[in-house]
Each structure stands twice: as structure tokens, then as C-alpha cells.
Chains A and B, each alone.
Chain A
Amino acid sequence: MSDVRNREAIEAAARAAKYEWGFTSAVEQEFAPKGLNEDVVRFISAKKNEPEWMLDWRLKAYRAWLEMEEVTWAKLNIPPIDFQDAYYYAAPKAKPKLSSLDELDPEIRRTYEKLGIPIEEQKVLAGVEGAKKVAVDAVFDSVSVATTFREELKAAGVIFLSISEAIREHPELVRKYLGSVVPQRDNFYACLNSAVFSDGTFVYVPEGVRCPMELSTYFRINAENTGQFERTLIIADKGSYVSYLEGCTAPQRDENQLHAAVVELYAHEDAEIKYSTVQNWYPGDEQGRGGIYNFVTKRALCAGARSKVSWTQVETGSAITWKYPSCILKGEESVGEFYSVALTNNFQQADTGTKMIHLGSRSRSTIVSKGISAGKSNNTYRGLVRVLGNAEGVRNFTQCDSLLLGDQCGAHTVPYIEVRNPTAQIEHEATTSKISDDQLFYAMSRGLSQEDAVALIVNGFAREVLQQLPMEFAVEAQKLLGISLEGSVG
């Protein structure tokens, strides 16, 4: 990774915000040395007080990773990444401490306001000193609500912890399921993550339990600064249900350029997992400088009969997105769903989609992908529907729509369909359209500014996906689509 560029950016940001970087020597020791080797993996594991088996698991991944190669099949132009020129533990990730919101980059501040984020919450997002407690109040009404929330989950038997905590407190569960959906050697980035994952989320919902609330990283203690190599593991036992929200609509900056997360979902018989993501990492500037590389492996195993997993994602951030939330539909009559909005502007690149692997008879899948391209960006849907020979009566419906703004962007659809059983019914629909001048003028003649008109039309285009999101999230996501397209027309 181009750490030099990162350093420069950090220093520039530091100068601009006029804050003291302020790492004390004590903090300095929390860093693993730059680069990646077995000692660094051991250091990470030791820092987290991990048991021996966890260290062994990481080391095995590290050794496998050394023999693997980066992914090159995506329609992405990825600059070479020097994996030895990066920090893998406690990289300088403390957000700059601001003493008030006035010190925040006015552009970010403006975006917060447009999103309608309450002032106190803005302070937390911006890292204003001393804001945390107040903001917890603001978000949850009071600290006690957060406490009530944890107690309620406990009463229901739901385990909701950081993955580091779970490794210590529920080693038998983590050991059983970690890597069971995404094997270490699955791909280059997943393997790297397996060796060096920083932190992430663990959820276990016991048999027959309907999780009493939407789970969100937002609620999780220690949720901050786990972005770089995040690891998430969600297990829904027989007949249980859980809905999980990941991410945040507020623009998130991070000095780590490479993000390689792994998410594993495991659904037992009759269980259902709904996983929603809003991703708004820093996309780089209008000239395409900077921005996060988001290389994510997300996969669900619908292991039991009639199990169901639904992925919903709204992807507006990151300079490069490489992400295919997938379902292995092993259980009979299991159901996989993928609803996606991917928006790219300026020089952003996204290659995203899904894989639906039908192993179980009468398993069904639905794919709805909405790609929006603006500026000089490139947006690719890449999807695989595979039906194995002994899976009878499988059904799939796929709809891929692309919307273009302007004439310098690209939209690409790459569907792979592999069917080895003649009883399968597979449908694929695809459209490509542009926002027409007629639509823009019609909306403007009714009183909408050009930006609002674009936002309205784009939201209409993405509606089928947005309505899959939990209500509060959907409202924010709608605003986000509009903001992400500002200045892209006219």
C-alpha cells in the first residue's frame, strides 16, 4: 500500500486542522512494526490475548497467503499494492481529535448537515474530544437505553460481542464456525484477513429465538477503528431470526487505504439472516486521488432446510470496490436474496455483484442489482448463478439495471449462468438507461433544483433495493444517493 501517500495525506490533514498529532511514546509501542511476517501475526494475536489455537489459525492463513496471488479478473484498475509497506496492527488510526466541530473540514460538515445527522452525533463521527458520552445520550436518548439494550439481548440469549471478546468468551463457537463459510484460502484478500484481522463482530442467535432488535455495529462497544481488516461472524441457529446493519451513511475517512473485510453468515434449518450494509468510505477526490480500496469477501451458508439469507447493500463510497456477497444454498428449499445499489462518481471503480450457488433442491434466489454511474467512473455488475446436478426444481430471478449520468462513465453487466440440472428455472433481465433531459426538466419545472431532481430520479431507480432496508436506514440512504451525485450533472 502506498503508505507514503497516506502519510502525506495525514500530515496535510494535520496541518489543515491545526491539531497536534500527539502520539506519545507509550502509544507508539502499540504499533506492530511496518510490514508483514510471522512475528507481526504473533504480535497481533498476543496483543489480543488470544488462545494458542487462534494464533495457529492465523499463522496457517499467513503461510497460505504467501503462496497466493492477487485477484486480477475483475474489471478494475488496481494500482500495485506493497503489502510490506503498511502497518497491520494499531496502524496510526486514531482520528484527529478536534476540540469543536468548527475545526472540521467544512465539506464534511456540510455533508453531515445534509444527511440530517444530529449535532451531537456529528461530534462523535468527527472525533470531537469528549463527545462520546453526550452522543451516546443523543443516539440512544440515554445511556440507560444502551444498557437496557444489552440486557434485553442477554435475556433472549443472543450473543453480540466483538470477535476478540467472542474468541475469549465463546471459543467453542468461534472455533466451530470461523472459516466454515469463507475458507482461509478462498482468495488472496480473505486469506490476508484471516492472518491479520483486527476486530469485528460476532453474533450467535440460539435456536428458536427471534432477535428482539436490529443489531448494528453502531451499538457495539468497541466499534470504532476496526475498519481495516474487519471480521464478522453471524450464526443463526435453528428457527432463529436476526437482522444486522453494518456501516453508516456519514462519510468515513480512514488513513488505511486497503480494507479487506470478511463476513461469514451461517444459517441453520429454518433460520433467517438479514444483512444490510451502507458503505460510504472516502471515495477519493474529484481528480481520483486517494480513497479507500474496499476488497471484501462476504458469504452466507444456508446450511439447513428452509433457511434464508438476504443481503442488501448500498455502496456509494471507496475508490475501488471489489465485493460479491454470496449465498451457498445447501439446504433444501433454502432462499438467497441479493439487493444492491452501487453508485460510482468521479473516478470511482466498482466491480460488485453476487454468487448464488444452488446445491439444495427447490432452493430459490433473487438478485436485484441497480448500478448508477456518473462522472468518469466505472461500474460493473458481476454475478454467478450456479445450479448443481442434483439440485432439483431450483429457481432464480435476476434483474440488473444500470443508470448512466453523463457520457464519460461506464456500466457493465457480466452475468455467469451455469446450470447442470434441467429442472431449473432461471430468469435474467437487464436494462441500461440514462437520466433523460425530459425527466430533469419535468421535475425542475415543478420546482425541484437540478440536484434534487437528480436525487429524486436516482432514488426512484433504486427504490426496489432501498425498500429492503430498515426504515431509518432507508431514509438516510436516500439522502446519501443524492449527495454522492452532487455536481455530476450539468
Chain B
Amino acid sequence: MLKIDNLHAAVDGKPILKGISLAINAGEIHAIMGPNGSGKSTLAYVLAGRPGYEVTEGSVTFEGRDLLALEPHERAALGIFLGFQYPVEIPGVSTAQFLRTALNAQRSARGEAELSAGDFLRLARAQADALALPQEMMKRAVNVGFSGGEKKRGEMVQMGLLDPALAILDETDSGLDIDALRVVGEGINRIMRKPDKAVLLITHYQRLLDIVEPDFVHVLAGGRIVRSGGAELARELEREGYAELVA
């Protein structure tokens, strides 16, 4: 599904990613761990196409297409979703309006019919219920006045509605209490744990991986993947830290 080959990227001319290669197949969940500043968020932004994140070498293909040639919204329409570490506020735009506009933009880019307001609301209600968010949240402006936990659950509502093939989740677990963590983790499993979908999960902590069990764990340090393994690698890191790997 996703093939990253020798990816180098720089921000403001400063090299951050220094040769990442990674293949993610449908049905797989990959966790990326690593110390602060190792390039985890940069990798997520490069994959989603954030302006200012300059690819200097290497390639990324998604379902055989050159991902790096596409605009962020074109990547979204192909089925790539980025869950933000810090979801952004958009004052005056209701969450429902935002998501319906986004979903219909994706659908029309794929040549599908747009959803009516009624059909959309039914879908949105189901997703909000599943993440234990009040319906009323849909009427509030995007992320404005949301608590940290509400923002992260809101991201999962968006993911459920947009129904992507590949979700890149950037520290979706940060700032969550134990209960919210469980709701969010179960949301990831429910929405993405399917044979035709894949997840790239960026996290610092084992506690999310206890709920969303990864098939592969990669340790990113200094802009490179320094070690890969199965779920047991994450538990080892939890016990022993990154010090030995990074050194």
C-alpha cells in the first residue's frame, strides 16, 4: 500500500529525515516510536504533504502512485488521513459543515456522488456516538473550545467519517486520560483494523499499543529507522528506554 524508499526531507534547509525506507501493506498496523526530535512528526507531515517540508531525496508511492507529486487534498482523496497531534481550531465553521465539505470534496474528487445533509448527519451521529462525544459537538466550531481529550476524539470522529485506507496518527494518545485513551484506541481498532486498511501510529507510550496492538514497531532516531521488530520491541523500549539504541 505505502512504500517509502530512502526518504530524505528538510525543514528550513535543515535535514531532518535522513534516509527512511518502510513498506506498509494492507491489513498492517505499524508503530513508530523514538525520542523527541527524531523526525516522527516530520515523517507524518511529509507523507500528508505539508508545505515547507521539502523532500530532498527518495520516493514515496501509495497504491503505486507517486505520492510526493500530489497536493495534500489530493492525497486525502486517495485515502490518506493525518490525525493531528495538535488539532487546529477554525472559528465560525461548524464541525458538521467542515466535515461535510471535506467528505464531499473527497467524494467528488473520486467521482462519487455527494452526500445529502441528511445522510451525512446520520453517519456523523453514529461516529460521534461510537466515540462517546455529544451530538452537540457537531454544531460547535471546529476544535474551538474543545478540551484536549475532545479534540483527539474529534480526530477519530473525522477519521471514521472520512474512512481512509491509510491513517497516519501523530501522537493521538498525547494528553489523554486512561478512559479517553481506551475510547480512542478502540476507535482506531474499530475503524482501521480491517484487511484493506493500514495504520502508521506515532506514539511515545506502550499504553496505546496495549489497546492497538501493532504488527510492526520501528524506532526512529536521528532521522533514520534504527531498529524494527514486532510488538515485543515496544515493550522492551518501555522497560529500557531509547538510550542504548540512540547512542
Contact = CB atoms under 8 A, between A and B. Distances in A.
Interface of A: 436-439, 441-450, 452-453, 456-457, 459-464
B91 A444 contact: no
B141 A448 contact: no
Contact of B103 (A438, A447, A460, A464): A447
Contacts of B101: 448, 452, 456
A332 B105 CA distance: 51
A463 to B, nearest CB: 4
B72 A464 contact: no
A442 B52 CA distance: 14
Interface string B54-92: 000000000000000001110111000110100111111
Nearest to B77: A447
B50 A456 contact: no
A460 B92 contact: yes
B102 A442 contact: no
Contact of A445 (B82, B98, B103): B82
A444 B82 contact: no
Contact of B88 (A442, A447, A462, A464): A442
Contacts of A444: 49, 71-73, 76
A447 B98 contact: no
A438 B12 CA distance: 16
Nearest to B48: A445
Interface string B148-184: 0000000000100010000000000000000000000
A446 to B, nearest CB: 4
B90 A445 contact: no
A461 to B, nearest CB: 6
A447 B50 contact: no
28 contacts: A436-B88, A437-B51, A438-B88, A439-B89, A439-B90, A445-B48, A445-B49, A445-B76, A445-B81, A445-B84, A446-B102, A447-B76, A447-B77, A447-B106, A447-B109, A448-B105, A449-B73, A449-B105, A450-B73, A452-B101, A456-B90, A456-B93, A457-B90, A460-B91, A460-B93, A462-B92, A463-B92, A463-B93
Nearest to A452: B105
Interface in B95-120: 97-99, 101-103, 105-106, 109
B172 to A, nearest CB: 14
Contact of A447 (B51, B73, B87, B89): B73
Nearest to A437: B51
A437 B52 contact: yes
Most chain A C-beta atoms within 10 Å of own C-beta, residue among B77, B84, B91, B99: B91
A409 to B, nearest CB: 20
A436 B202 CA distance: 25
A445 B92 CA distance: 19
Contacts of B73: 444-450, 453
Contact of A439 (B88, B102, B162): B88
A437 to B, nearest CB: 7
Interface residues of B, number: 33
B171 to A, nearest CB: 16
DSSP class of A's interface residues: helix, strand, loop or mixed?
helix
A441 B109 CA distance: 18
Nearest to B105: A447
B98 A456 contact: yes
Contacts of B98: 443, 446, 456
B54 to A, nearest CB: 15
Interface of B: 48-52, 71-73, 75-77, 81-82, 84, 87-93, 97-99, 101-103, 105-106, 109, 141, 158, 162
B93 A446 contact: no
Contacts of B99: 446
Nearest to A449: B73
Nearest to A433: B91
A249 B105 CA distance: 24
Contacts of B97: 456
A450 B50 CA distance: 12
Given A441-B50, A447-B77, A449-B105, 16 more contacts: A443-B98, A443-B102, A445-B73, A445-B81, A445-B82, A447-B76, A447-B102, A448-B73, A448-B102, A449-B73, A453-B73, A456-B90, A456-B97, A457-B90, A460-B90, A463-B93
B162 A447 contact: yes
A443 B48 contact: no
B99 to A, nearest CB: 8
A462 B91 CA distance: 10
Nearest to B50: A441
Contacts of B71: 444, 449-450
B102 to A, nearest CB: 4
Contacts of B88: 436, 438-439, 441-442
Contacts of A443: 90, 98, 102
A464 B141 CA distance: 12
Interface centre among A446, A453, A456, by most B CB within 10 Å?
Answer: A446
A464 B93 CA distance: 11
A434 to B, nearest CB: 13
Contact of A441 (B51, B81, B93): B51
B106 A461 contact: no
A298 to B, nearest CB: 26
Contacts of B105: 447-449, 452
A120 B162 CA distance: 37
A462 B93 CA distance: 10
Contact of B92 (A441, A450, A452, A459): A459
A411 B140 CA distance: 28
B102 A460 contact: no
Contacts of A462: 92
A377 B136 CA distance: 39
B130 to A, nearest CB: 19
Nearest to A440: B51
Contacts of B82: 445
A443 B95 CA distance: 11
Given A437-B51, A463-B92, A446 B84 contact: no
A463 B97 CA distance: 12
Contacts of A438: 88
A357 B58 CA distance: 66
A90 to B, nearest CB: 45
B168 to A, nearest CB: 10
B124 to A, nearest CB: 14
Contacts of B91: 460-461
Contacts of B92: 459-464
A448 B52 CA distance: 18
Contacts of A450: 71, 73
B36 to A, nearest CB: 20
A461 B91 CA distance: 6
